[in-house]
């Protein structure tokens, strides 16, 4: 059983994030409704790279790798303006190196949604800002079951569009703040995770 105080804290955090997400979503939709379009462009992407836990109270290996798939729908920027997207990402991370001999391996499955803003249009190099709200399921080696938590993620990317096809390539820097209910103690276990990823969109 997790402490009730920890669960209440997580509920408040999730409600706050959902409110922020709702405000952003309404803003994007209100912008898109003012534009005439018949077909909503859909973009898919695959990415992978290095992840590092910069700070945590958990006894977990700090370094590892992660992969992610994403499906995006354009919701604004149909008349020559800079486009915005709403996406549904799903990814997997493995933390299995870089720590002490007593640190344990960890695996995480995450999913949620993202708002992505392109800061330029019709250029070969396009800077991108994104805001993510994600749910995480974490498994620790030697522990039974899993623990579920929530993640707030910000990322900055540069996309390269060659122009001869619909394919594009990108490099991405990420910062994530992840919170899990603490096991056997009050409060929450938190992780601050930094990532460098490379990917392709199509």
Helix (H, G, I), strand (E, B) or coil at 72: strand
Please state which CATH class domain 4-201 belongs to: mainly beta
Residue 85 has pLDDT above 80, yes or no: yes
Helix (H, G, I), strand (E, B) or coil at 22: helix
Phi-psi region of 62 (alpha: psi -120 to 50; beta: other; left: phi over 0): alpha
Look at residue 37 in the predicted model and tell me its pLDDT. Answer: 45
- Read off the pLDDT of each residue in 116-133 and give the average, rounded to a whole number: 96
CA–CA separation, 75 and 117 (whole Å): 10
CA–CA separation, 7 and 178 (whole Å): 15
CA–CA separation, 116 and 155 (whole Å): 9
Whole-number mean pLDDT of the chain?
Answer: 85
pLDDT digits (tens, 9 = 90+) for 3-54: 444 445 555 555 666 666 566 555 555 544 544 444 567 899 999 999 999 9
Residue 2 has pLDDT above 60, yes or no: no
* Nearest to 99, CA basis, from 64, 61, 65: 61
Residue 183 has pLDDT above 70, yes or no: no
């Amino acid at each position: 059983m997790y402490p009730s105080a920890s669960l209440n804290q997580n509920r408040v955090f999730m409600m706050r994030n959902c409110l922020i997400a709702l405000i952003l979503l309404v803003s994007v939709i209100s912008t898109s409704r003012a534009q005439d379009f018949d077909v909503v462009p859909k973009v898919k992407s695959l990415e992978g790279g290095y992840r590092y836990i910069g700070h945590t109270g958990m006894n977990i290996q700090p370094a590892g790798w992660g992969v992610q798939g994403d499906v995006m729908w354009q919701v604004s920027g149909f008349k020559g303006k800079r486009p915005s997207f709403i996406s549904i990402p799903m990814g997997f991370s493995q933390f299995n190196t870089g720590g002490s001999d007593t640190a344990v391996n960890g695996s995480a499955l995450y999913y949620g949604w993202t708002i992505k803003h392109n800061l330029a249009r019709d250029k070969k190099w396009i800077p991108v800002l994104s805001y993510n709200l994600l749910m995480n399921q974490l498994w620790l080696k030697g522990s039974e079951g899993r623990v579920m938590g929530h993640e707030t993620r910000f990322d900055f990317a540069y996309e390269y569009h060659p122009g001869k096809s619909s394919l594009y390539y990108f490099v991405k820097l990420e910062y994530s703040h992840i919170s899990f209910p603490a096991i056997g103690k009050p409060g929450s276990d938190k992780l601050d995770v930094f990532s460098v990823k490379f990917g392709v969109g199509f």
